[in-house]
Structure 1
């Protein structure tokens, strides 16, 4: 399969080139030239998430040098579970995506991308620097996935003081080929710097660069797999499609579910839960799309004022009226996040991270509005990553999973950097 740019439907790029480049040459985002179509019967032989991933992604890899490696890449990336947990609240489930090495959903895509990049780089290639802007969880997942890989470096930019202490520790605890930069500014500033660098041909003549943010196809495509796997399992048990309520900031995780549904998987309605950064909520309520400076919230990984993947969403739904009709979007403020964590889903004792709490609150709104179908709340991170928020609200300690605890035991360091493009260029060139 070939891939086009969101800004030029006639352009054509092979998958490996798109993975290495990150952004399309015109500054747009890579998108499939066509979308394959599946039925549930196509996955009859695939029970594991790795098996579903390999079957689902095969058309996207067809004709690419990585095609023969796809099964192995999926086996490496999807070697931990994504359980769909039934909850004792009518037709409600919890899709737990936090069982990977950094306790966040981004482990799936980051490990998949690392597997691809490792196979595309050879010992004679110049080192490739992976630039990552993170609002909390992406950077740690990418750092863990790429740590120690030959000829691959990672530079993570995160907004100083706007990630949780445990998130910040994860970002700086790897060393070796991983560098963390704590930027004076917001996530949007970090994202702007990364996009500018990836579009800077003069810089790229000196430093080979790529991306591991959700703009990367290597992150986006594999994230379709856990939606496909959970929806197929639910379909086999009940014969009904499964809807998803997805916490979202940069729209990457949500877009993965949207693409999986567009490919014919048995996915029902898709609702998006944002925090007090209301760009998406305002657009879906009828306003013009208008990025704005992000504001800091309890759900910090969703503190995005200019969601990159909105460009892909508009590619899939070029008519704004049709786009607004396709999804529900609910903005959840910090007060509601606190109440939702404290309540634990109708007093059932479930403990949620602030991002998952946004999805819980959004589903409660949907239920009050009469939505009776099967829904899955997408749990994007383990609550122990946000212990300073969660523990006072639930009144007890939330032990971190072992993989997270091991990372927290390491020393951590991040270099300070101004929100300045010239400073980033100087830093990158000095590393060569």
Structure 2
């Protein structure tokens, strides 16, 4: 299978080339030249086995094809349980049981294992650039830490991530550098995209991306949606609908792709924080990126969702059909706080701010008479947001062992301005 750019101004490439590049030379995002036909998929397999089957058509004919099973077995060695919530028919898909307690661990570990195989031995190091609004950077740092031939530069908006997120981003060292940027996530993302498109820089220091703009991050994230939906359908005969908290649209795009591949997945509703670019578009307005707004659900503080290009590609630019298929709802900080406090008080359920955003959207759907079986994607462990969650629930949140080990390490991040010349210098500085 070949992969092309969403902007249609770059040549088709192999999957390995698309994964290694991160971003297409015309600035677009890589997508399959032709989407695989929907297939009959089976429940009962492990998450790794489900991933291998689901992703096989994308790897067909590629140099990584024979390695796919081993990549999935190594990357997906932690669970993604689908658990019931207090309301009958409501569930939570817990995606935070990986080494950095966030859903980004799935895609980051898969990508790292692909790139390690593609790099082989010798040659110039490949620099992975990653802009993060909270969780991506730590997941990428953990996945690539001490991997030979690879180095990572993480950019995050100074003061706009939680204290524990910031500690994770700076606690690795070795081949991982953390830059705390005087700006927003959108500033960080713009710097990364400019570097990836800098032909002169790429000639001196090969670059790739580990953001959700990377095909190697996006494709594996389809797997946990497929695994959960297939298991639920086998047990109940019902398609599972999802409410997904989203910022850059990568996690939601993975669910949308899974459905297009034949997974028995029903409606997909997009939950956002006070950043309203997606709700305004799906409500009938123009797609109009805006400066991002800082919120409690900081990993969703995105004003220019990159994966919107992929979503429009999937719908062939048909805005009418696209708007007809999705709802996107915005939830403000005061409501996020209220949901966290109330759900713990009434049901003993503890959510991070991002998951609470999706829970509120599901509550509103139910209040409006929505039936069927639904799941909320729980994107991060609440212990990563203790400064928000603990005062609202009145007690400490137990910290997972893997997260505790990271928090016990020393951490350092270099303060930098949001200027491209500074990032370019860091890349060339080795």
Q: By the TM > 0.5 criterion, same fold?
A: yes
| Alignment check: 8 A CA contact 1:104 1:380 kept | yes
Distance 1:283 1:128 in 2: 37
C-alpha displacement at 1:132, in angstroms?
0.2
C-alpha displacement at 1:205, in angstroms?
1.3
Distance 2:373 2:11 in 1: 40
Aligned pair 1:341/2:363, yes or no?
A: no
User: What are the ranges of 5 or more consecutive residues in structure 1 without an aligned counterpart?
Assistant: none
What per-residue deviation string (whole Å, max 9, x for no partner) do you get for residues 327-372 of structure 1?
1111000011000100117811100000000000010111111111
C-alpha displacement at 1:286, in angstroms?
0.7
Distance 1:136 1:190 in 2: 12
Residue 350 of structure 1 is matched in structure 2 by: 349
Aligned length: 429
Distance 1:105 1:203 in 2: 31
Residue 164 of structure 1 is matched in structure 2 by: 162
C-alpha displacement at 1:287, in angstroms?
0.7
Distance 1:235 1:382 in 2: 26
Residue 12 of structure 2 aligns to a residue in which SS? strand
Residue 23 of structure 1 is matched in structure 2 by: 23
Residue 128 of structure 2 is matched in structure 1 by: 130
Residue 381 of structure 1 aligns to a residue in which SS? coil
C-alpha displacement at 1:90, in angstroms?
1.8
Please give the TM-score of this superposition, normalised by the length of structure 1: 0.98
User: What are the ranges of 5 or more consecutive residues in structure 2 without an aligned counterpart?
Assistant: none
Residue 370 of structure 1 is matched in structure 2 by: 369
Give the one of 134, 149, 154 matched to 1:151: 149
Superposition CA RMSD, Å: 1.1
| Alignment check: 8 A CA contact 1:160 1:184 kept | yes
Distance 2:400 2:272 in 1: 26
| Alignment check: 8 A CA contact 2:10 2:26 kept | no
Residue 261 of structure 2 is matched in structure 1 by: 263
| Alignment check: 8 A CA contact 2:3 2:33 kept | yes
Alignment of 1:28-427 (within 5 A): 28-40=28-40, 42-43=41-42, 47-317=45-315, 318-344=317-343, 347-427=346-426
Distance 1:59 1:284 in 2: 31
C-alpha displacement at 1:268, in angstroms?
0.4
| Alignment check: 8 A CA contact 1:188 1:294 kept | yes
C-alpha displacement at 1:43, in angstroms?
2.3
| Alignment check: 8 A CA contact 1:159 1:184 kept | yes
C-alpha displacement at 1:35, in angstroms?
1.8
What per-residue deviation string (whole Å, max 9, x for no partner) do you get for residues 295-345 of structure 1?
100000000000000011110111111111111111000011000100117
| Alignment check: 8 A CA contact 1:345 1:360 kept | no
Distance 2:118 2:42 in 1: 28
